[in-house]
Amino acid sequence: MNLLQAINLEREELRGLRKMATKVINTTEKSVHQLKALITSYYSGVEPGSLLSIELISFGFKYGVPFEADIVMDVRFLPNPYFVEELRGLTGLDEKIKEWVLNRTLSKEFLDDFLNLILKYLPRYIEEGKRYLNIAVGCTGGRHRSVVIVEEIRRVLEQRGYKVVTYHRDIDAD
């Protein structure tokens, strides 16, 4: 029996099974990860994007980069509220710090660019079957800029339907 005959025989033997199937998936051009996402989505009734858990971590570089980070972004180039006396004791969770950081043109430009990058490539992580993605954003001490940026990224990702948790690792350090 040659290859073509074997393929035709296999098709004939599987015909009955195919008639019973509720879903037929063409796997010809699918990676293992794409197939996994497709099958999981079909049988769980859940969209593949909701299967990805995103952890956003703010941190201070002076305490080290989080070892669990898949993506690390350095925001030490943004103006630092630490050097404004009345803001120093606050954190990025305080409205005054949030406004101070986010009202800067550079901060707005950075957030637009970084969010576009994240949103462009999140579907690729999902296609590859990644279930967890850790994005770490660092500033000098991990109390101001990184916290504000992480909270803003969280807000946007949640609006887009992603499952997000935040961890402000160094917010209470020092």
Q: What is the pLDDT of residue 111?
A: 97
- The answer to whether residue 170 scores a pLDDT higher than 80 is yes
pLDDT tier for residue 52 given thresholds of 50, 70 and 90: confident
Amino acid at 8: N
pLDDT tier for residue 135 given thresholds of 50, 70 and 90: very high
pLDDT tier for residue 105 given thresholds of 50, 70 and 90: very high
- CA pair distance 146, 52, nearest whole angstrom: 23
Quote the tokens at residue 144: 């101001």
Percent of the chain with pLDDT over 70: 91
- The answer to whether residue 48 scores a pLDDT higher than 60 is no
CA quadruple 64, 68, 74, 79: dihedral, nearest 10? -70
The CA-atom distances, in angstroms, between 24 and each of 16, 38, 39, 70 are 13, 11, 11, 35
- The answer to whether residue 156 scores a pLDDT higher than 90 is yes
Segment 47-74 shows an average pLDDT of 88
- The answer to whether residue 50 scores a pLDDT higher than 90 is no
Percent of the chain with pLDDT over 90: 60
Mean pLDDT, the chain, whole residue set: 89
- CA pair distance 55, 136, nearest whole angstrom: 8
- CA pair distance 90, 135, nearest whole angstrom: 24
Q: Where are the domains of the chain?
A: 3-44, 49-168
- The answer to whether residue 146 scores a pLDDT higher than 60 is yes
End-to-end CA distance of the chain: 76
